């Protein structure tokens, strides 16, 4: 068993993917790159807005200095007019920035959602065995929303505040360097406690988010199983469980709010104390005639702007971090390479489809359970047009044979081929186009009957759908439904019985009209009447096709050209019904139990 690790090392588990933040940023740029022009315009708007903001104190300074001395009224008019002009520019730039940046956020999130969704559809079953669908959905919905809020606002808030901070500091120095020096001396006393408290708040925010996610997962599970809860009268138990989780979320939220309130208290107190102190020093300089009143006014406004920018930055920093985390969760999915994908130069199947299936010394184990051989030295040759019934106890590996034929997994060794082409050399999509499937559990979508049947072939006309329904013996119940073909089936088709669902699935396969049929026959949920109808439908479907059927019914077994008996992943017998009965092996035993022969 030298190649036990053959497949296990490239299992796609998003939780185990190493975090490569540089690569993630690059990927984020991959989403932003198509919109370089918009980003450029938004940046210009941002710079203009920041400059306008920084220009206002200069105008005010002049007004204070000149306006209150004996200068002509024209001068005053001019300055107030200039101030108004700056305000107009500020408003326009802010308008443009808001629109462009929000547009960008919405656009990028839409693109990410589309890519994540498209990627998820290409991933092989191994991925879904390792990752909960709830987790994938939360990446698609919640995480993208975080990215949106960052690209669509936080990033521009951050950039604006960086510009205001740097610009404001320069203007402070320009206005009065001595006062600026005082401010710098005070700075550590203001910033240090804010950073410390800010970190606490941030950690609690994340914790609070996790708690909320917990609560919604709990609610989700319970609501999904609400009938079971009611059947077992476990409402109180579930209520208590949910209450515990949601109260836990409340406690953390309150803790965070308390920290946040303390932070706000400190910000206000420290910033105003500092402004007060600097103002006091400045006022003494004004009285001493060292600086003008306008200068002091402008200086105070700049320091308030700078302080505000610092506060805002400390706040958005946490947001940015959260967004990098969220973006990486989305990008991890996008970067996931499917286990099963088309080779660089996929082989095509011959145009003349015969539908011959060959298993040649196939060994297989599921990647999620390495070391547990499911198929061992499996050999089977199904000729074009032949019907082979697979019989065997539960767990023998019958469904696994179907999984391999659909190239959901590749064999560990040996080859599986269709019409002479090895499946591993072909595009899995091409492989599946040649296969018609009627699974054991018929999947019904929340759509109308017609749309459900059309899933077999989206190009089918209404006549074709009707004909398929008829051939599948589904018209019998469809005609009795109030809206016929247009009847809406509800989530997972719960409004139909098992036999009805199965006939819809058969109609879908009839419409698909593939050369090879894979039937995982189901007996449960079928009464005698229904079973006869399904049987007739299947016979119609199987005409002139290669069929591999997991048989549970005697009728199917008798119709098959060949019966293959499987146990523990091996073929142990094959032949027709009489031969196998006479042989007195596993088949004879199973037939006695299952068919009452």
* φ, ψ dihedrals at 368, nearest 5°: -80, -15
Three-state SS for 413?
strand
Between residues 391 and 449, which has the closer beta carbon with respect to ligand ADP?
A: 391
Minimum CB separation of residue 374 from ligand ADP in Å reads 4
Q: How many residues bind Mg ion (CB under 5 A)?
A: 1
CA distance to 10, 223, 554, per residue, from 322 (Å): 29, 29, 60
Q: Are 172 and 303 in contact (CB under 8 A)?
A: yes
Task: Choose the contact partner of 43 out of Mg ion, ligand ADP, none; CB within 5 to 8 A by kind.
Answer: none
Strand stretches in 331-402, DSSP E: 357-364, 375-382, 387-391
> Minimum distance between the CB of residue 398 and Mg ion, rounded to whole angstroms?
5
Q: How far is the CB of 487 from ligand ADP (least distance, A)?
A: 32
Give min distance, CB of 11 to Mg ion, in A.
23
Contact (CB, 8 A) for 504 and 452: yes
Phi-psi domain of 336 (left: phi exceeds 0; alpha: psi -120 through 50; beta: other): beta
Question: Residue count at the site for ligand ADP (CB under 6 A)?
Answer: 13
Least distance CB 343 / ligand ADP (angstroms):
24
Residue 19 interaction partner, one of ligand ADP, Mg ion, none, beta carbon < 5-8 Å per kind: none
- Which among Mg ion, ligand ADP, none contacts residue 256 (Cβ within 5 to 8 A by kind)? none
Which lies closer to ligand ADP via its Cβ, residue 441 or residue 529?
Answer: 441
- Smallest separation (angstroms) from ligand ADP to the CB of 358: 19
Assess contact for 509 and 436: CB atoms under 8 A.
yes
Of 111 and 567, which has the nearer Cβ to ligand ADP?
567
Pairing of strands 387-391, 562-567: parallel
User: Crossing angle of helices 528-542/498-512, nearest 10°?
Assistant: 10
Alpha carbon distance 143, 322 (integer Å): 9
Minimum CB separation of residue 11 from ligand ADP in Å reads 11
Which positions from 399 through 418 interact with ligand ADP, judged by CB under 6 A? 399-400
Count CB-CB contacts under 10 A for residue 319: 19
Measured from the CB atom, the residue of 399 and 535 that comes closer to Mg ion is 399
- Rounded Cα–Cα distance for residues 161 and 306 (Å): 8
Show the site string, 142-161: x = touches ligand ADP by CB under 6 A, - = not: --------------------
Segment 324 to 343, residues that bind ligand ADP, using CB under 6 A: none
Rounded to 5°, the CA angle 476-478-480 comes to 80
Q: By C-beta, is 399 or 448 nearer to Mg ion?
A: 399
Scan residues 398-427 and list those touching Mg ion (CB under 5 A).
Answer: 399
List binders of Mg ion among 53-72 (CB under 5 A).
none
Binding track over 173-202 against Mg ion, x by CB under 5 A = ------------------------------
The torsion angles phi and psi of 495, rounded to 5 degrees, stand at -85, 5
Least Å from the CB of residue 38 to ligand ADP: 45
Question: Quick one: 12 or 400, whose CB is closer to ligand ADP?
Answer: 400
The interface partner of residue 374, options being ligand ADP, Mg ion, none and the CB cut-off 5 to 8 Å by kind, is ligand ADP
Q: Give the residue with the Cβ less far from ligand ADP, 146 or 404.
A: 404
User: Could you tell me the smallest distance in angstroms from the CB atom of residue 394 to Mg ion?
Assistant: 7
Residue 353 has which token pair? Answer: 């489809």
Sign of the Cα torsion 541, 542, 544, 550 reads: positive
387-391 β-sheet, strand order: 435-438, 516-520, 546-550, 387-391, 562-567, 570-575
Of 384-403, binders to Mg ion (CB under 5 A) are 399
- Contact between 231 and ligand ADP per CB under 6 A: no
Nearer to ligand ADP, 344 or 593 (CB): 593
Interaction partner, residue 396 (ligand ADP, Mg ion, none; CB < 5-8 Å by kind): ligand ADP
Query: Is there a contact between 577 and 569 (Cβ–Cβ < 8 Å)?
Result: no
Which does residue 397 bind out of Mg ion, ligand ADP, none, counting CB within 5 to 8 angstroms by kind?
ligand ADP
Site string for ligand ADP, 358-397 (x = CB under 6 A): --------x-xx----x-----------------x-xxxx
Q: Which long-range contacts (CB under 8 A, 24 or more apart) does 485-492 make?
A: 485/448, 485/449, 485/450, 486/448, 486/449, 486/450, 487/448, 487/449, 488/446, 488/447, 488/448, 489/444, 489/445, 489/446, 489/447, 489/448, 489/449, 489/452, 490/446, 491/446, 492/443, 492/444, 492/446
**Helix H or strand E segment including 563:** strand 562-567
d(CA 337, CA 208): 33
CA 102/CA 156 separation, integer angstroms:
9
- Positions in 343-372 near Mg ion (CB under 5 A): none
d(CA 435, CA 509): 9
Q: Looking at the DSSP assignment, which residues form a beta bridge with residue 422?
A: 417
- For residues 558 and 13, give the distance between their C-alpha atoms in angstroms, rounded to a whole number: 45
Nearer to ligand ADP, 376 or 487 (CB): 376
Nearer to Mg ion, 336 or 400 (CB): 400
What does 129 bind: ligand ADP, Mg ion, none (CB cut-off 5 to 8 Å by kind)? ligand ADP
CA distances from 119 to 122, 137, 331, 361 (A): 5, 13, 10, 33
Q: Which does 369 bind (CB under 5 to 8 A by kind): ligand ADP, Mg ion, none?
A: ligand ADP
Q: From the CB of 587, what's the least distance to Mg ion, in Å?
A: 17
Shortest distance in whole angstroms from residue 431 CB to ligand ADP: 19
**103-142 footprint of ligand ADP as x/- string (CB under 6 A):** --------------------------x-------------
Please state the closest distance from residue 543 (CB atom) to Mg ion, in A: 25
Number of residue whose CB is nearest Mg ion: 399
Strands (E), 406-526: 413-418, 421-422, 435-438, 516-520
Closest approach of Cβ 592 to ligand ADP, in Å?
Answer: 19
Q: Which spans of this chain sit near Mg ion (rule: CB under 5 A)?
A: 399
Q: Which spans of this chain sit near ligand ADP (rule: CB under 6 A)?
A: 129, 366, 368-369, 374, 392, 394-400
């Amino acid at each position: 068993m030298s190649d036990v690790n053959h497949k296990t090392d490239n299992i796609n588990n998003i939780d185990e993917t190493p975090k490569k933040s540089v690569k993630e940023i690059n990927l984020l740029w991959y989403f932003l790159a198509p919109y370089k022009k918009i980003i450029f315009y938004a940046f210009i708007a941002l710079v203009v807005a920041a400059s306008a903001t920084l220009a206002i104190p200069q105008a005010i300074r002049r007004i204070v200095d000149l306006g209150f001395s004996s200068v002509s009224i024209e001068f005053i008019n001019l300055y107030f007019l200039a101030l108004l002009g700056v305000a107009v520019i500020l408003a326009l730039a802010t308008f443009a920035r808001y629109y462009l940046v929000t547009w960008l956020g919405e656009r990028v999130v839409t693109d990410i959602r589309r890519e994540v969704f498209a990627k998820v559809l290409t991933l092989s079953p191994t991925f879904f065995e390792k990752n909960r669908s709830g987790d994938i959905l939360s990446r698609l919905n919640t995480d993208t929303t975080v990215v949106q809020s960052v690209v669509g606002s936080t990033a521009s808030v951050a950039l604006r505040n960086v510009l205001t901070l740097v610009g404001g500091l320069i203007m402070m120095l320009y206005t009065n360097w001595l006062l600026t020096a005082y401010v710098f001396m005070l700075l550590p006393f203001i910033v240090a406690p804010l950073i410390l408290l800010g970190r606490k708040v941030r950690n609690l925010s994340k914790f609070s988010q996790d708690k909320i996610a917990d609560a919604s997962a709990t609610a989700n599970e319970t609501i999904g199983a609400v009938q079971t809860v009611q059947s077992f009268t476990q409402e109180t138990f579930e209520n208590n469980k949910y209450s515990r989780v949601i109260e836990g979320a409340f406690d953390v939220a309150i803790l965070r709010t308390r920290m946040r309130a303390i932070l706000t208290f400190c910000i206000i107190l420290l910033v105003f104390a500092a402004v007060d102190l600097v103002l006091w020093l400045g006022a003494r300089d004004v009285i001493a005639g060292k600086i003008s009143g306008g200068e002091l006014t402008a200086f105070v406004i700049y320091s308030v702007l700078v302080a505000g920018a610092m506060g805002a930055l400390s706040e958005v920093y946490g947001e940015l971090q959260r967004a990098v985390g969220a973006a990486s969760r989305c990008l991890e999915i996008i970067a996931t390479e499917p286990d099963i994908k088309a080779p660089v130069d996929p082989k095509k199947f011959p145009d003349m489809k015969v539908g011959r299936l060959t298993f040649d010394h196939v060994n297989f184990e599921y990647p999620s359970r390495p070391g547990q051989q499911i198929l061992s030295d499996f050999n089977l040759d199904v000729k074009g047009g032949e019907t082979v019934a697979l019989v065997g106890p539960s767990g023998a590996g019958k469904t696994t044979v179907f999984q391999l034929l659909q190239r959901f997994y590749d064999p560990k060794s040996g080859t599986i081929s269709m019409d002479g082409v090895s499946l591993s050399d072909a595009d899995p999509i091409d492989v599946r186009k040649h296969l018609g499937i009627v699974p054991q559990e018929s999947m019904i979508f929340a759509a109308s009957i017609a749309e459900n049947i059309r899933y077999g072939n989206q190009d089918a006309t209404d006549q074709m759908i009707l004909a398929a329904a008829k051939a599948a013996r589904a018209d019998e119940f469809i005609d009795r439904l109030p809206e016929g073909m247009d009847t809406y089936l509800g989530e997972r088709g719960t409004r139909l019985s098992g036999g009805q669902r199965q006939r819809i699935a058969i109609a879908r396969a009839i419409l698909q009209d593939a050369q090879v049929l894979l039937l995982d026959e189901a007996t449960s949920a079928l009464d005698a009447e229904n079973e006869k109808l399904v049987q007739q439908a299947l016979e119609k479907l199987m005409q002139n096709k290669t069929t591999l059927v997991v048989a549970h019914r005697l009728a199917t077994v008798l119709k098959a050209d060949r019966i293959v008996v499987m146990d523990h992943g091996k073929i142990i017998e094959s032949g027709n019904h009489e031969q196998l009965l006479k042989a007195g092996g596993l088949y004879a035993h199973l037939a006695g139990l299952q068919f009452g022969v």
